[in-house]
Amino acid sequence: MSRAICRAFLGLGSLLLPVAAQAGWVIDWNTTAVNARGERMATQPAVQSISGNKVRMQQPDVVTITDYATDRFTLLNPRKQTFWGGPVNDYVSEMSAHRKQVMSDRVAAMGMSEKMKNKAAERGDESHKERVARKEKEALEQAKQLPVSITSTGQHEKIAGYDTEKFEVKVDGELFQELWLATGLNVSADLDAARFLAQQETTGAAMMGKSAKQYNALYHDAQYRSMIERGFVLRNIVHHLAGGYERVATAVKQEDVPASAFEVPESYRRVRLSDLFDPPPTPEPRQISPPSS
């Protein structure tokens, strides 16, 4: 991608020519993560732009651009001015491969016990890649079978100027989400809920962590999908073993969104998905203490 094509003239042209824009929505959010001990982290702001079945979510450390019409997904790292973009299926494949590599590196760094080595030998001809793929497929199928229940609490609250109704969503009998749904906020002209949910099903295969199975259960549940299609969620609280988070809208504005909002800036450099962000810290090798005398 060229980064030095008459920048001065392009800058002048942007002042003289009208900016391409289209009708849409701009929503301000506050997101607060909660760790496994129940401690609330610092709240982070985010700005979401929606138009023409495209969604841009700008957070302090990452920007995501999703094109639901063409099933393309883009991630930008503002600090490094790098990006990755491509079909959603490529994102799922690369995320899965990256996750497997990270796990493999961690196991290697910590050292493999004799018991683990013996189990690996007993597995015979099945390769590590085949084994992981089989387990992921089994986990996804199991998630689809988890029972989901959705109950209205009867509570109503005005959020960002819209009336909302609170729902509790349980997966396998445990509370997973609290949702405040605004049925009076209709963004369907700019975001097709069916396309959104279809893509969530696809990207769910790349999810990891303790909440992955719950999310996958929701995305494949007919009642949940029907609820999402009836309105727009303006507050969402997620509970799981690793902690959770709360996201609430603070402002909702219907306005023109420039087409440039869904484009990668000229100055950004394309990288592999695995190189987009800093890798997680590698744990220290496990030390085996000598037997006490």
Helix, strand or coil, per DSSP, at residue 273:
helix
**Range in 135-139, 262-266, 276-280 with the lowest mean pLDDT:** 135-139
Q: Which comes out higher in pLDDT, residue 19 or 181?
A: 181
Token pair of 26 as six digits: 């701009």
Q: DSSP letter at 63?
A: E
Instruction: List the beta bridge partners of residue 255.
Output: 24
Q: Which comes out higher in pLDDT, residue 287 or 227?
A: 227
Check if the beta carbon of residue 188 is closer than 8 Å to that of residue 128: no
Per residue in 146-186, pLDDT tens?
Answer: 999 999 999 999 999 999 999 999 999 999 999 999 999 99
Residue 202, phi then psi, degrees to nearest 5 = -70, -50
Cα distance between residue 83 and residue 264, in whole Å: 8
Q: Which helix (H) or strand (E) holds 217?
A: helix 212-219
pLDDT of amino acid 9 = 32
What is the arithmetic mean of pLDDT over 103-122?
A: 56
Number of residues in the chain: 293
What is the arithmetic mean of pLDDT over 190-206?
A: 88
Helix, strand or coil, per DSSP, at residue 260:
helix
Cα distance between residue 181 and residue 164, in whole Å: 5
SS3 content of the chain, % helix, strand, coil (to 5): 30, 35, 35
Token pair of 20 as six digits: 């391409």
Cα distance between residue 69 and residue 124, in whole Å: 44
% pLDDT > 90, the chain? 56
Q: Which comes out higher in pLDDT, residue 34 or 286?
A: 34
Cα distance between residue 143 and residue 135, in whole Å: 12
Check if the beta carbon of residue 260 is closer than 8 Å to that of residue 20: yes
**Range in 176-185, 201-210, 274-283 with the lowest mean pLDDT:** 274-283
Helix, strand or coil, per DSSP, at residue 279:
coil
Token pair of 139 as six digits: 């986990």
End-to-end alpha carbon distance in the chain: 65
**Range in 31-35, 97-101, 236-240, 272-276 with the lowest mean pLDDT:** 97-101
Read off the pLDDT band of 122 (50, 70, 90): low
Q: DSSP letter at 286?
A: P
CA 108 distance to own-chain centroid = 28
Cα distance between residue 225 and residue 53, in whole Å: 17
Q: DSSP letter at 165?
A: E
